[in-house]
Structure 1
Amino acid sequence: MPPTAATAATVAATLAVLLLLAVVVRLPWVGDLGIHAATLERLRHDPLHPGDPLVDADVPSPYYSPWTVLLGLLAKATGLGAFAVLRCAALAGLALLLTGVAHFVRTLTRRRTAVSLAVLCVLFLWGPAVFEWSGFLGLSSLALTVSYPSTFALGLAFHLWACLRKALRADAGPAVFLALGALWAVVLLTHQFTGVVTSLGALAMLLGARPWPRRATLLRLGAGLALGLVLLAAWPYYPFFDLFGAGGGLDGIHRALYRDLPARFGLVLVGVAALALRFRRDRRDPLVLFFALGVLVFAAGGLSGHCSWGRVLPAALLPAQVAAGVEAAGLAAAVREGRAGRVPAAVAAGTLAAALAVGAWTQAGTLGHVLPRSALPSAVAAKHRPPWPGYRWITPWVRPGDVVLAKTFPARQIPAYGAYTVAPGYPDFFLPDEDARADAVRRYFAPQTPRAERLEVLRRYGVRWVVAYRSDGGLPETDLALRKVTVGTRGQVLYEVVGAATR
């Protein structure tokens, strides 16, 4: 790669990272930020027995991972608010992710430019339509999920793959493989879907190891795997292996992962071409094997109707994206050394540059998270989706531990400020009365529900507050059981439940 192109790649990667750092300061809210903030609030209040993060119930939750417990202890020790701690989590997750990509790429090539190119490919080599989901590392997606446990887990995953490659190559001792087993368990406990991606990647690193590991090395690897399984079984905050029965309830949410694949991920085909080149050189190339395993599981999920398996898609995308960066750096070096023609190399470089440019333009709306709309060109401003405003306006009255009755969308945000909701805003596998709670909320707001039945819902769940639009239904604001307290920025009303009137 010419010096100017190498410099451009480094500058572009640096600017993208600086943009993400600026986003951390703003911490825009679109998605699951509320449940992660709620998790920290519960752990701050009671690190040993936090209970459900969303509703007032003494049940376990997979959100209580080693990472969130550590963040909860930080919040308790420092007195920092949940969102301040999430900014710390974002910085740590971003640092771990970037160093992890660099660490992994350096086990594949010594070309210095490959790291910058791989970072650019991971951020921009997606598709001509914006796609945002935790565990998917496009720039616009990462800007919204950088504080999530999935980002931290992916950062650990890249380091694990790199360390495993080096350990297999060096025939490392038992301590190294035991540490890798513990690291694998931490990833699985922190974000289960990323844990599956990590496991497929680790299997690919093993199957692609050259030379093939000795029997003693495989036994050490088995010991590390056994330790990881023990740690998974021993984790006290939730029974990890019970999650294997949770897939059915998640399939509906993840059906969207199987729609609009060319628009969302079409640019990754450039990386697939890079994988084809690697496959020609080595039939056991670890990136090729990783990609094949990811495609196989993703396809199996779609064909069998297990759409939650779609969360394994990063196992196909990441190796293709990394391969694109590594192969581009290697091709440039081959041209300089006279091992490749300039015209084919120029075509390959131009194709990658064009794909990255399309991906960058598609995700240009991310700039709106750090710049005012007036400072953006109109075409970029049109791409920006404003973040959710949140429910801080209720906090002068609603206290931590209070129960709020609200529909699904506000129920995804209100627990971030310490309150509980009647029904969880997200699927809650360990909550035995989840369906009954959701039905209670529906019945409260249904137009034909008698007043006595609505009052019974308020009594049964100890509701102290109701958040609703006037058009939502429920008890009229003139009812003696309610007292109008304040109106939010979008017209929602906070009502206090008058206890005597509900008895």
Structure 2
Amino acid sequence: MNRTQPQDGAARAGRVLPQVAAALVVVLLLLVIVRLPWAGDLGMHAATIERLSHHLFHPGNPLVDADTPSPYYSPWMLVLGLVAKVTGLSVFVVLRLAAFVALTLLVTGVWRYVRTLTAHRAAPALALLSLFFLWGPVLFNWSGFLGLNSLALTVSYPSVFALGLTFHFWAWLTRALREETAWARWLWLGVLWALILLCHQFTGVVASLGALATVIAARPARTVLLRLAASLALGMALLWLWPYYDFFSLFSAGADLEAIHKPLYEDLAARFGLVLLGVAALVLRFRRDRWDSLVLFFVLGALMFAAGGLTGHYSWGRALPAALIPVQLAAALEVVAAGRRAVRVGWACVLGAALAVGAWTQAGTLGYVTGKGALPSVVAAKYRPPWVGYHWITPWVKYGDVVMARTDPARQIPAYGAYTVAPGYPDVFLPDAARREAAVERYFAAGTPAAERAGILREYGVRWVVGPSSLAGPGLRKVTAGPDDQILYRVVH
């Protein structure tokens, strides 16, 4: 009896420690949501909510004063725009609510999906920790990727909401393939699949690859395939009927996105090297089951990622989570799936060391809660400060005003309701995007004559200019100063 008690205690600790660690990470993310650090695409999503809160059915372009559709007008953003419209809450408060919902969906979705792979109580927590920390020794941030630091900066984005739905989608699909499932549930799966694709197209690709792997692994009967086909047909119909943008036209827009996605193919070992542990786990899973769903999922994701690099379709690199997620989950599950106790303990030690390296790489995430000043110097060196924002222009610049600004401020200013001359992000539905970008470049070029600058301002109905102090001249009146030698000028005629 005494001999078994230490083993029981060790087993209990093996269950509790991952659960406590995962809970602490989730609490950290909740505290990050309170601060809502600004980087990347937050301004785009805030601007999208702004447009929908003012014009729910015909919002126009979210960034520039143009009547064009936008792939950012998804069902989820429509809900958030409606919340902002009905409650009068600021878009940043609404984004915090969105982040809370997305994080809840993500955590519960991972838990439900992992429970379809194993009944071990520690597995969902281990899976979360692997998804957050099993990356590489060099920090990597990109929307749609689940590293802790990346998630802290993107938790309010539609990509995280879509990822949360994706894990639930995989869990429901797995159970539907295993059990006798009514037609209604299969049709619901079609609706959910279309919702994910509409909310974040790249995550929708990941969801589709995971679903395909799940179906192949299940080797369903013909009657199940018929229901699956009906589910797929319903999802396709919903994609076709969505009124805010033409989903299928996005397939011809990849050329405009290749350059910005090329960095996804750089520094792979430094960014993702720790996932090799999960590749080893997949090899073990493959030896146990040649139809393992995680193995198939990884193969599909890796093939699509490799095809993008080989053909120059770098936007296909956004399918990389379809290779990373099964690898990360496999690494976590091997801790509870390996046969002998000594093997499980050894695997847990190796995984723990890898997670510690990944956690140290992302330790700067703590600064989004505490501020840089409260961090030890070695951690502060890993902290990347968020953007300051352009709230300092809001006493003067009102909703719908057009602002002349370069790319970096153009990524933030529309969040407050104003438009910019050129979009701060690639816009596949804006036909004159290149002309607008050229106009901004000419305006801020040092040798551009004052008359030409004035003509550009008139052409685009510009009321304000955000630029350096050296820009001062005829037709501009200084209103206020911001950080980094930025001046808000009023256009006077």
TM-score (norm 1): 0.95
User: Where does structure 1 lack aligned partners over 5 or more consecutive residues?
Assistant: 335-339
**Contact between 2:336 and 2:344, CA under 8 Å: does it hold in 1?**
no
Q: For 1:25-174, list aligned pairs within 5 A.
A: 25-174=34-183
Rounded to whole Å, the distance in 2 between the matches of 1:256 and 1:155 is 25
**Which residue of structure 2 lines up, in the alignment, with residue 337 of structure 1?**
none
Residue type at the aligned position of 2:97: C
**Contact between 1:298 and 1:309, CA under 8 Å: does it hold in 2?**
yes
Residue type at the aligned position of 1:327: E
Rounded to whole Å, the distance in 1 between the matches of 2:365 and 2:15 is 25
Please say if 1:264 is aligned against 2:259. Answer: no
Rounded to whole Å, the distance in 1 between the matches of 2:279 and 2:87 is 47
**Contact between 1:117 and 1:329, CA under 8 Å: does it hold in 2?**
no
> In structure 1, the residue corresponding to 2:397 is in which secondary structure?
coil
**Contact between 1:121 and 1:324, CA under 8 Å: does it hold in 2?**
yes
**Which residue of structure 2 lines up, in the alignment, with residue 304 of structure 1?**
311
Rounded to whole Å, the distance in 2 between the matches of 1:213 and 1:173 is 15
Rounded to whole Å, the distance in 2 between the matches of 1:414 and 1:374 is 28
**Which residue of structure 2 lines up, in the alignment, with residue 248 of structure 1?**
255
User: RMSD over aligned Cα, in angstroms?
Assistant: 1.0
**Which residue of structure 2 lines up, in the alignment, with residue 313 of structure 1?**
320
Distance apart, 1:10 and its partner CA: 1.1
Rounded to whole Å, the distance in 2 between the matches of 1:173 and 1:5 is 39
Distance apart, 1:402 and its partner CA: 0.1
**Which residue of structure 1 lines up, in the alignment, with residue 466 of structure 2?**
467
Please say if 1:12 is aligned against 2:21. Answer: yes
**Contact between 2:298 and 2:322, CA under 8 Å: does it hold in 1?**
yes
Q: Deviations over 1:340-362 (max 9, x none)?
A: 151x3333221101000000000
Rounded to whole Å, the distance in 1 between the matches of 2:336 and 2:42 is 37
Distance apart, 1:173 and its partner CA: 1.7
Residue type at the aligned position of 1:116: A
Which of 209, 213, 217 pairs up with 1:208? Answer: 217
Range moving further from structure 2, 170-179 or 394-403: 170-179
> In structure 1, the residue corresponding to 2:275 is in which secondary structure?
helix
Identity %: 64
Q: For 1:403-482, list aligned pairs within 5 A.
A: 403-471=402-470, 476-479=471-474, 481-482=475-476
**Which residue of structure 2 lines up, in the alignment, with residue 221 of structure 1?**
228
Which portions of structure 1, spanning 4 or more consecutive aligned residues, are displaced by more than 6 angstroms?
Answer: none
Distance apart, 1:171 and its partner CA: 3.0
**Contact between 1:287 and 1:323, CA under 8 Å: does it hold in 2?**
yes
**Which residue of structure 2 lines up, in the alignment, with residue 399 of structure 1?**
398
User: Where does structure 2 lack aligned partners over 5 or more consecutive residues?
Assistant: 1-9
**Contact between 2:137 and 2:361, CA under 8 Å: does it hold in 1?**
yes
Distance apart, 1:376 and its partner CA: 1.4
Rounded to whole Å, the distance in 2 between the matches of 1:430 and 1:31 is 20
Q: For 1:284-299, list aligned pairs within 5 A.
A: 284-299=291-306
Range moving further from structure 2, 369-378 or 416-425: 369-378
> In structure 2, the residue corresponding to 1:2 is in which secondary structure?
helix
> In structure 2, the residue corresponding to 1:12 is in which secondary structure?
helix
**Contact between 1:171 and 1:213, CA under 8 Å: does it hold in 2?**
no
TM-score (norm 2): 0.97
> In structure 2, the residue corresponding to 1:208 is in which secondary structure?
helix
Rounded to whole Å, the distance in 2 between the matches of 1:81 and 1:432 is 31
Rounded to whole Å, the distance in 2 between the matches of 1:303 and 1:147 is 33
**Contact between 1:208 and 1:289, CA under 8 Å: does it hold in 2?**
yes
Distance apart, 1:452 and its partner CA: 1.6
Please say if 1:279 is aligned against 2:286. Answer: yes
**Which residue of structure 2 lines up, in the alignment, with residue 486 of structure 1?**
480
Rounded to whole Å, the distance in 2 between the matches of 1:182 and 1:75 is 25
Q: Deviations over 1:435-481 (max 9, x none)?
A: 1100100111112222221111000000000001235xxxx4131x1
